[in-house]
Amino acid sequence: MDDILRALAGAVLQAVGLLAVAPLLRGGIKKMKARMQTRKGPPLLQGYYDLAKLLRKETVRSEVASWVYALGPRLYFAAAVAATTLVPVLIAAAPLEGAGGILGLVGILALGRFALAAAALDTGSPFGGMGSSREMTIAALAEPALMLGLFTSALAAGSLDLGAVVRSELVPGVLFRPSDILALSGLFLVLIAETGRIPVDNPATHLELTMIHEAMVLEYSGPDLALVEWASALKELLYITLLIDLFVPLGIATTVAAAPLALSAAAWAAKVVVFGVVITLVETTNAKLRLFRVPELVAVSLGLGFIGLAIRFL
């Protein structure tokens, strides 16, 4: 019973903590991007202001829509929150260890995506359908690459549990391997595709023919939109944390004590910032790809995954 309570407490703390910092990451990337383009950019905390504003607004829903439309953002948000409990962040074990590991994480995120994509079809707007179709297409294409990258790491640890993977990386003598570079590049491309960043999608655009994720959620407003935005930010932070866990977990705490936890938090934050900088660089130096060029990018990611797996284990 004590174990269960401790796991639940950990899960709640981690979910609340990640929810609290997620908008900061988006704000940070926006700010850095603006600075690189010699603009001033919105304040760092703009994400929070937006969420607070949206949550206070009136709920407006389409006359055509059914309950699926209301469920979509809620399930999307819930899935992202649930996913946070499956990833080790500060301690080398996920709060809900044994609930599902890597495949559980992928499944939960797919559940959220399914709900939002179905909900997007509910208003009858052509934009919703277009976004839904494109989002599902890209996610489907990215899935094998994601799975292959995760498999490479899981095989090294002999387990599909993220905590076990992290702990196996922490064993002294395990250094950075060449195959890790390939697997990391492959998974980074997946991260770009799944979080709707340039060159796959542009989170800042509302130009009708190029939108993917934004088209899908175009009809949402008020609190519904707040949930979608928050969940998207959380998902992005989650993917970055996942990459940190798989490839550079160094510094993560193995015991629950104040000093290691503080160190771990600092290390994690620094690594997230590095990833944020890389994403900003990719976003500012690339142009958005045409939709039908995206499969090529994903194929590259898949190829990197295969080569990584091959040179690691054959």
Footprint of other proteins on residues 176-195 (CB under 8 A)?
A: none
Q: How far is the CB of 56 from other proteins (least distance, A)?
A: 6
**Under a CB-based contact definition with an 8 Å cutoff, are residues 19 and 229 in contact?**
no
Q: Contact between 2 and other proteins (CB under 8 A)?
A: no
Helix (H, G, I), strand (E, B) or coil at 91: strand
Binder of other proteins out of 10, 11, 91, 283 (CB under 8 A) = 11
**Per-residue CA distances from 19 to 39, 73, 197, 282 (Å):** 28, 15, 20, 25
Q: Is position 63 an interface residue for other proteins (rule: CB under 8 A)?
A: yes
Q: Is the separation of the CB atoms in 81 and 19 below 8 Å?
A: yes
Compare residues 105 and 267 and give the one whose CB is closer to other proteins: 105
Query: Could you write out the DSSP letters of every residue in 13-28?
Result: HHHHHHHHHHHHHHHH
Closer to other proteins at the Cβ: 68 or 263? 68
Q: Are 228 and 268 in contact (CB under 8 A)?
A: no
Give residue 94's identity as a one-letter amino acid code: A
Q: How far apart are CB 9 and other proteins at their closest, in Å?
A: 12
Site for other proteins in 230-289 (CB under 8 A): none
Nearer to other proteins by Cβ, of 29 and 94: the residue is 94
Distance in Å from the first CA to the final CA of the chain: 44
When the beta carbons of 226 and 244 are compared against other proteins, the nearer one is 226
Q: Which stretch binds other proteins (CB under 8 A): 146-154, 195-203, 248-256, 268-276?
A: 146-154
Q: How far is the CB of 229 from other proteins (least distance, A)?
A: 12
Q: Which amino acid is at 56?
A: R
**DSSP annotation of 92:** S
Among 36, 41, 46, 137, binds other proteins (CB under 8 A): 137
Residues numbered 65 to 94 that lie near other proteins (CB under 8 A) are: 65-69, 73-75, 77-82, 85-86
Bridge partners of 91, per DSSP, are 253
Of 204, 193, 197, the C-alpha closest to 34 is 204
Using the rule CB under 8 A, give the single segment among 21-29, 35-43, 108-116, 245-253 that binds other proteins: 108-116
Q: Are 195 and 239 in contact (CB under 8 A)?
A: yes
Of positions 13, 114, 185, 300, contacts other proteins by CB under 8 A: 114
**Which lies closer to other proteins via its Cβ, residue 35 or residue 57?**
57
- Out of 41, 61, 177, 248, point to the residue binding other proteins (CB under 8 A): 61
Q: C-alpha distances in angstroms, 106 versus 19, 33, 225, 238, 259?
A: 19, 29, 23, 12, 32
- Please state the φ and ψ torsions of residue 91, each to the nearest 5 degrees: -115, 145
Minimum CB distance to other proteins, residue 274 (Å): 28
Instruction: Provide the mask over 13-32, with x wherever binding to other proteins is found by CB under 8 A and - wherever it is not.
Output: --x---x-------------
The number of residues that bind other proteins (CB under 8 A) is 93
User: Per CB under 8 A, does 96 bind other proteins?
Assistant: yes
CA distance to 104, 207, 265, per residue, from 157 (Å): 17, 44, 24
**Least gap, CB of 273 to other proteins (angstroms):** 26
Tell me if 48 contacts other proteins by CB under 8 A: no
Phi, psi of 218 (to 5 degrees): -60, -35
